[in-house]
Structure 1
C-alpha cells in the first residue's frame, strides 16, 4: 500500500507544480509548498526498495545471481523503454521534440548517471535503483547475512567518501549519495523481519512518530536539513513502524485491497509526467480548465493517472513480461520494485 501512496504523493506534487507555474494562482500562498511535500515519496520508495530486496531474498534461501539480475532487468527496462518511446513520440506530435544527442539518448535508455532523466524526468531515481540492485546482487554472492553486512559497510564508506572528496561527476555523485543509506535502512528492516528479530510491539507508536516528524519537517522548512535527515529518517521510521505493525497482525481486507495499487506504482511513476504534459496541452486549448485552481486539478488528475497506470500495468507490462519469458509455462512472477 505504501508504494501506491508514495507514488500518488509524487504525482500530486508534479501536476500541481506544473499547473501552478503555468496557469492559475493557487488558493493560498502555502499551497504549492504543501504539495511539494510529495517529493518525500522518493525517499519512501528507496526505503521500500531495500526492504523488498531482502524480503524476497531471505536468509537461508539460495541466492541465484543470474535469476536475480534477469528479473530485475525485466522488471525495470522493458516497460521503461516503452514509456520512453511514448514520451519521444508524443513530444514530436505536440511540437516539443527532445533535443537529444546519440550519447545522451543512449545514456537515458540505459539509465546511466547524468542522463537517466533526459527523457523521463523522474527516471533519475531509477539510476539509483539499478546501482543498488547491482551492489545488492554482488554482495549476496557472499551469502545473505554476510552480504548484507558487506553492503551496509560499502554504502556507509561510500557516503563518507563523498562527504570528504568532492568530485563534480554524475557517477561519483550517485555512488556517494546519502540516499544510499535509505536503501540499506530498508534492507536492514527487511532482514529483521525475515530473520524473526523484528519487534512485534510499538509499531503504531513508531508510525505516529514518523508522521509527527514529517509534520515537523513541513513546519521547519524543507531546506533546514539534508533531505536524508529531513525526509529519510521519518521514511525509515514509517516503514519500520508499518512492518512491525503488520508483523504483529494480519493486514485488513481494506489494506490488502489498496495494496493492489502498489503493483502498478512503477507504471504510474513512469507515465505520469507524460500525462501531465498532455494535461497542460489540453488546458491551453480549454481556457476553463486553465482557470481552475491547481489543487482542484491535481486530485482528480492523480486518480485518473492511477487508472491509466492500472491499465498499463495489467494490459501491457504483465503481458510484456510473459512474452519475454516464453520458455516457462506461466509468466515469470512479477518481481516487486520499491519504485513506484
Structure 2
C-alpha cells in the first residue's frame, strides 16, 4: 500500500523485492545443503551464499525512504509517525511472536514478553526456532523509528556532516566492542552497534539524492552497473575473508556494515534515478513483490523449513543444477502466494488505518517532535 506522506515510487518497492529475494535465496541455500545436496562455494556466488546482505539493503533502504519523506514533509509529528510505524509492523510481528512462544511453551517465562522489544538479543523466543528466526530485525527497525524524527530534524538543521559525525562515533564503538566480544561477527550482524550505521548511510544517500537528482538521473545506468559490480565484489570479499557462517570473530566485520551499506546506497541512488521503464509484466511483478516483502521476509523461513522436512530433495530431472532451479522456483512461488495471503489478511487492514504524519502546512524546516 502506498505511503500517505510522499509520492509513490515503484523503484523503492522493486528494491524491497530484491532485498527479500536475496534473503530467501540465502535461507534456501542453507536448507538445500542441510538436506545433503551440493551447494555453491565460489565467492562470486556470494550474493546467494551470503544473501543475508539483503538485510543490509533493507536497513539502508529504510533510512533512505524515511529521510526522503522528512525532506518532503519538512516536519514530522512524532506521535503520528510512531502510530503509523506500529500499524505497519506490529500486527504481523506480534503474530510471529505468538507463534514463537507457542513453539517454546515448555520453556516460556513471563519475562520473555520483554523480548517483544529486543528480539535481536539473548534467548528471544523468536530466535529459538528457524520458523520465526527472521524476526530478529524488527527490534532494530523499531529502535530506528523511535529516534529517526530527531535524527532527521538535526540532519536538516546541520547537514550531512551531522550524520557523518554519528558514523565516526559508531566506528569507535565497533572497534572498542571488538576487543571484548568473543563472537563479534554475530554482534555486528544483529545489534545496534553493527547495524545502526546502515540506517544513517541510507539517510545520507537520500540527502545526496535531493541535492544531485539531475546529475544522478543522467548517470543512472552507469551508476546501477558500477554499484551492482561493487556489491558483488564486496560480498565476495566478505565470503572469502570472513564469512558470517564460518568466522565467529574477525576485525573485518568492524568495517563490514559500512562497506555493505555503502555499496547498497550507491545502488539505491542509481536505481531510484533510473528513468527507463521495465517491461510491464516484470515491473508489476517486482512492485507486488515489494508490497508483500514484509510478509515474505517474516514467513519464508518457516515455509522453507516445512518443505525441507515434509518434501525433502526433489530430483525430477536427475540433473543437480536443474533440480535445484526447480526446487527454488517452486518454493519461491509458494512463498509468494503465502505472503500475498498474509498481506491481504493481516497487513492491509491495518495499513488502511495510517494517516499523514507530516506537518507540511508549517514553513519551519525542522521536525516537530
TM class by shorter chain equals 0.7 to 0.9
Q: C-alpha deviations, 1:80-139, integer Å up to 9, x for none?
A: 1112324555x47xxxx6744333x32432235414552521222222212222221233
Q: What residue number does 2:18 align with?
A: 5
Unmatched segments (≥5 aa) in structure 1? 326-330, 335-340
- Displacement of 1:294 in angstroms is 4.7
Selected match of 1:128 from 127, 133, 140: 140
Q: What residue number does 2:85 align with?
A: 72
- Displacement of 1:310 in angstroms is 1.4
- Distance, in Å, in 2 between the alignment partners of 1:240 and 1:313 is 28
Q: C-alpha deviations, 1:21-74, integer Å up to 9, x for none?
A: 1x2422666599653132221111111111011112225522111111111122
Question: Is residue 2:110 matched to residue 1:102?
Answer: yes
Question: Is residue 2:320 matched to residue 1:307?
Answer: no
197 and 283 in structure 1: CA distance in 2 versus 1, 3 angstrom threshold: closer
- Distance, in Å, in 2 between the alignment partners of 1:36 and 1:298 is 14
- Distance, in Å, in 2 between the alignment partners of 1:72 and 1:167 is 35
Within a 5 Å distance, the mapping from 1:1-340 to structure 2 comes to: 1-21=14-34, 23-26=35-38, 30=42, 34=46, 35-58=48-71, 61-89=74-102, 91=103, 99-103=107-111, 105-115=112-122, 117-118=126-127, 120-142=132-154, 144-146=156-158, 150-165=162-177, 166=179, 168=181, 174-177=191-194, 179-195=195-211, 199-200=215-216, 201-217=218-234, 219-220=236-237, 222-224=239-241, 225-226=252-253, 227-228=256-257, 231-243=260-272, 245-246=273-274, 249=275, 251-252=277-278, 254=280, 256-257=283-284, 258-283=286-311, 293-322=323-352, 325=353, 332=355
How many residues are aligned here? Answer: 315
In the superposition, the TM-score normalised over structure 2's length comes to: 0.72
Q: C-alpha deviations, 1:7-28, integer Å up to 9, x for none?
A: 011112102211311x242266
Tell me if the contact between 1:20 and 1:294 (Cα under 8 Å) persists in the aligned partners: no
Stretch deviating more after TM superposition (42-51 or 135-144): 135-144
229 and 147 in structure 1: CA distance in 2 versus 1, 3 angstrom threshold: closer
188 and 32 in structure 1: CA distance in 2 versus 1, 3 angstrom threshold: closer
Tell me if the contact between 2:85 and 2:145 (Cα under 8 Å) persists in the aligned partners: yes
Local SS of the residue matching 1:114: coil
- Distance, in Å, in 1 between the alignment partners of 2:76 and 2:314 is 57
Unmatched segments (≥5 aa) in structure 2? 1-13, 242-251, 358-369
Q: C-alpha deviations, 1:152-180, integer Å up to 9, x for none?
A: 42343133223135455999983332x32
Q: C-alpha deviations, 1:178-232, integer Å up to 9, x for none?
A: x322211211121233456562322221211122223334554514243325533
281 and 48 in structure 1: CA distance in 2 versus 1, 3 angstrom threshold: same
In the superposition, the TM-score normalised over structure 1's length comes to: 0.77
Tell me if the contact between 1:15 and 1:276 (Cα under 8 Å) persists in the aligned partners: yes
RMSD: 3.6
Q: What residue number does 1:337 align with?
A: none
